[in-house]
Structures are given as structure tokens and as C-alpha cells.
Amino acid sequence: MAAVPTQPRVLVVHPGAELYGADRVLLASAAALATRFDVTVALPGPGPLVAELEARGVRVALCRMPVLRNAALRPRGALRLLGDAVLGLVPALRLIRRHGADGVYVNTLTLPSWPLLARLAGRRSVCHVHEAEESAPRLLRRAMAVCPSLADRVVANSAFCLDVLTDVAPRLRARSTVVHNTVPAPAEVRPARAELDGPLRLLFVGRLSPRKGPQVALATLQELLARGVDARLGLLGSVFEGYEWFEAELRATVEEHGLGHRVEFLGFRADIWPHLADADVVLVPSVKEESFGNTAVEAVLAARPLVVSDHSGLREAAAGYASAQSVPAGRTAEWADAVQRVAADWATFRNAACDDAREARRRHAPQRYRDGLVAVLTSLGGARPVPPAAPAEPAAPAEPVVATAGDRPA
């Protein structure tokens, strides 16, 4: 009997265990690599991401690790960073030697110790870059380039992301590859309601943080109301620890302007699709750069007209979709204008959104993403990945299942 080939071992490292944008991308990355490699994912602690990885048959190891965050700029944060680096050193080396024989895949550039430790352990590494802080001071951007500079290969999630990185580290371009994020699509795409009976339903999806722009979504609602547009706004997301003050400010604004019956704080929801299905227009009003724009793509996949900030990777994510409008960040009047354009020509935007959902599903198909990552890991020069067992994993269908307008009440 022929011996069954042993899968090459790849260690995947990620700085958190929640289920926000970067975490969902990690989940997709680990699942994609697990079709060809023996994958272990190292996380700094427990969280909902652990169960999602294990449900996909991916091994999870918890390991203390230093993560570069804004808190590290403060004395207490710097001490914690140092402690994580020292106490996590030996466990990290053990994980690399045991599970990273054929590659260490470091997800985000906030984990610079791992490519260095991979080198010390004689392993090759990949850094997957999801950050693009174009407006940050040049010295800080150089510091952020340390992790990819120590890695053997770099994956960027957008051309914008790669341009920002190579502006301060031009030599990295030769060993970098752009692989646009895969974005899971809903099993069924429900077209938006046929008629805009009742209030216009706006939805913001994302972290409640100043850079993501929920304050712009709230100001847009106020502007629409001032113009006589009957509208409601849902805020789907929660805050990072330490940013509770910002949510308090948003709630104070809602109370001050008597908007309690028009604004709903939905909190974090792992399943966003029911909320997207209930929305008419999705707002992605980030005021700071985004390396790509998963939330924007999710709106398109759900067949909902989209208004998105016209900058950085968001522009790249929304390009080519007729139902998406790109608007200068923070200009409330122009955001309200864009929403009113959708309402005034609802049938056109609604139909275009259904066509765009099919195109987004093609662009961000899991198979495309898997093939891109597997190619990069294989290029490290380790053992060749074992082909998937027959029958091969089916490719995502070219088109989603689209319900007719009669399948749901208007």
C-alpha cells in the first residue's frame, strides 16, 4: 500500500481572537491554507475566533506574544509589551519548531517578533499586511515596516496597501504579492425591498471608533432629517477596550438631539447578514485610511446600495460597482446627497446592487484567495503542499442564490 503523503506544517500567527474584519480574514486564511497544509494557529488568548477555527478543523495554540498597539506608547503598555516579549519567547520558539517546519505565516505587521524568531529557528516566514497608515509620520511607517522586512515574503491585501508599505521600504516590492481578501458571501442574497415604504433604513457596520466614522453616519442621519427625509440608522458594532468613552459620546449625541427612536445601537453580532438584509443603504464612512474595505464588499455581496469614503483601499474595494458611491470622507452634506440619490432612483440602484453582488462573489471567491496564499507559501521553498483529496473542494458558484422580490415582504 502506498504511503499517504504527509502535509507540510505551517504555523499561522494572529494578534487577537475576536471576530471583526481582520479576524474574519484570518479565519478565511487559515481555512484556505488548511486545504493544502497542516495548519496550527497561534493566538494570544481565548475568544470567539478559537471556536470558529476549531469548527473548521484547524488546530489552535494559545501563546503569550507582544502585539504592537497604540497602548504600547504609554509606560504601562510598554511594560506589558516587554513582559509579553520575554515570557512568550520560549513558547513561541517551541511552536515554530514544532508546527512551522515549512513556513510561519504572520498575519498583520503588528507581530514583528515572529519573523525574527522564525529566522532564529531556521524557518522561513510570510507577513500578510493588512495595514496602510499613509498619513502616519514617516518614522512610524518605517517602524511598521519592520515585520515585513524581516519576513521572506510579503502578501498585501490591496495595491494601495503595497504602495504605502513600499514607499518607506521600496526593496520589499520585489518579494511582495497582492492578494485581495476573500469575503464570505451570504448563502442567499435577498434583493432590497421593492418600494421604500416607511423610513429609509441606513446601516453602519464596524468598530465604534473615531477612525471608522460612526459619528459621520450619525451626522448624515441628522442632515437627512433636517432635509425632511424620514430615516433610521443602525450602528452594528462595539468598541475596542479603552474606547468606551467614544460610545458614550455617540449615545450622548443621540440623546441630546432626541434621536433615541431613530438610532439603534445593535452591538457586535457575529452574523451580520440579517442586518444587511434589513437595510436599504449601507454607510462605510471611515475618516482614516483603510488598507482594503471588507465591510464595503460585504454590503455589495448583500446586494445593498453602498456609500463609502473616497480614499485609500476603500476606493479600491468599491471600484467598478454601479450601486456604490464614493464620497469625500466627513463631508456630511455630500453623504446626505448620496443617500438621497439612492432614494430618488431606488429601482435603478436596487437592480444594480443585485448585479454587483454577483460580480463581488466572483472577485472575492474563496478559491481565488486560497490559490493566491498557497502559491506564496509554496514559494518559500519548503515541501510541496499535498493536493486536496478527491473529490476536490468545489469552487464557489459563479452566482449567488438570489431570491425574487416576492420571496420577502416589501
CATH of residue 28: 3.40.50.2000
Tell me the percentage of the chain whose pLDDT exceeds 90.
74
Residue 232 lies in a domain: yes
Could you give the percent of the chain with pLDDT greater than 70? Answer: 90
85 and 14 in a common domain:
yes
Arithmetic mean of pLDDT, 206-234? 97
Rounded to 5 degrees, what are φ and ψ at 75?
-55, -50
Residue 263 lies in a domain: yes
* Per-residue confidence band for 398, with pLDDT thresholds at 50, 70 and 90: very low
Residues 157, 250 within the same domain: no
How far is residue 156's CA from residue 176's CA, in Å, rounded to a whole number?
7
Same domain, 48 and 193: no
C-alpha cell at 43: 493566538
* Rounded-to-integer distance, Cα 207 and Cα 250, Å: 13
Residue 74, in any domain of the structure: yes
pLDDT tens digits for range 42-63 = 999 999 999 999 999 999 999 9
Q: What would the grid cell of residue 92 be?
A: 513561541
pLDDT digits (tens, 9 = 90+) for 132-142: 888 888 888 89
366 against 405, higher pLDDT:
366
CA distances from 269 to 132, 153, 274, 376 (A): 26, 34, 10, 33
What confidence category does residue 70 fall into, taking pLDDT thresholds of 50, 70 and 90?
low
| Least confident segment among 330-334, 338-342, 367-371, 397-401 | 397-401
CB-CB neighbours of 70 under 10 Å: 9
Residue 286: what pLDDT?
Answer: 97
C-alpha–C-alpha distance, residues 406 and 410, integer Å:
8
165, 286: one domain:
no
Name the average pLDDT for the chain.
Answer: 89
Which of 129-133, 197-201, 298-302 has the weakest average pLDDT?
A: 129-133
| pLDDT at residue number 198 | 93
pLDDT for position 136 = 85
Domain-embedded: residue 383: no
- Residue 351 CA, distance from chain mean position: 26
Predicted confidence (pLDDT) at residue 401 exceeds the cutoff of 80: no
> What digits encode the pLDDT tens for the residues 233-261?
999 999 887 889 999 999 999 999 999 99
pLDDT at res. 210 = 95
- pLDDT score for 4: 43
The answer on pLDDT for 395 being more than 50 is no
| Residue 210 sits in the same domain as residue 135 | no
Distance CA 307, CA 302 (A): 14
**pTM for this structure?**
0.78
d(CA 312, CA 291): 7
Pair 208, 100 in one domain? no
Over residues 401-409, mean pLDDT: 33
Confidence grade of residue 409 (pLDDT, cut at 50, 70, 90): very low
Q: Which residues is 265 bridged to in the sheet?
A: 235
Task: Provide the pLDDT for residue 410.
Answer: 30
Residue 255: the pLDDT is: 97
Q: Are 249 and 295 part of one and the same domain?
A: yes
Q: Tell me: do 24 and 148 sit in the same domain.
A: yes
- Tell me, yes or no, whether 283 and 237 share the same domain: yes
Q: What is the pLDDT, as a whole number, of residue 77?
A: 66
Residue 393 lies in a domain: no
Q: Distance between CA 233 and CA 231 in Å, rounded?
A: 7
Largest CA distance in the chain: 76
Looking at the structure of the chain, the number of domains it has is 2
Q: Per residue in 287-314, pLDDT tens? A: 999 999 999 999 999 999 999 999 999 9
The residues, any chain, with a CB within 8 Å of residue 156's CB and separated by 6 or more, are 129, 162, 165, 176, 177, 178, 179, 291
Nearest to 275 by CA among 248, 254, 295, 252: 295
Residues 223 and 235 in one domain: yes
pLDDT computed for residue 73 by the predictor = 57
Domain co-membership, 31 together with 112: yes
Only one residue has cell 504555523, namely: 11
Question: Please, which pLDDT band fits residue 143 given cuts at 50, 70 and 90?
Answer: confident
Work out the pLDDT band at 22, boundaries 50, 70, 90.
confident
Are 166 and 241 in the same domain? no
Instruction: Confirm whether 396 is domain-assigned.
Output: no
Asked whether residue 209 carries a pLDDT value surpassing 50, the answer given is yes
- Domain membership of residue 387 (yes or no) is no
Closest by CA to 27, choosing from 44, 45, 39, 9, is 39
Backbone Cα Rg of the chain: 22
Residue located via cell numbers 457586535: 268
* Per-residue pLDDT band at 270 (split at 50, 70, 90): confident
CB 58, CB 41: distance < 8 Å: yes
Q: Which amino acid is at 238?
A: S
Task: Provide the domain limits for residue 33.
Answer: 9-182+365-378
Asked if residue 394 belongs to a domain, the reply is no
Q: Which amino acid is at 174?
A: A
Under 8 Å CB-to-CB from 337, ≥6 apart: which residues?
Answer: 327
Place of cell 511552536: 95
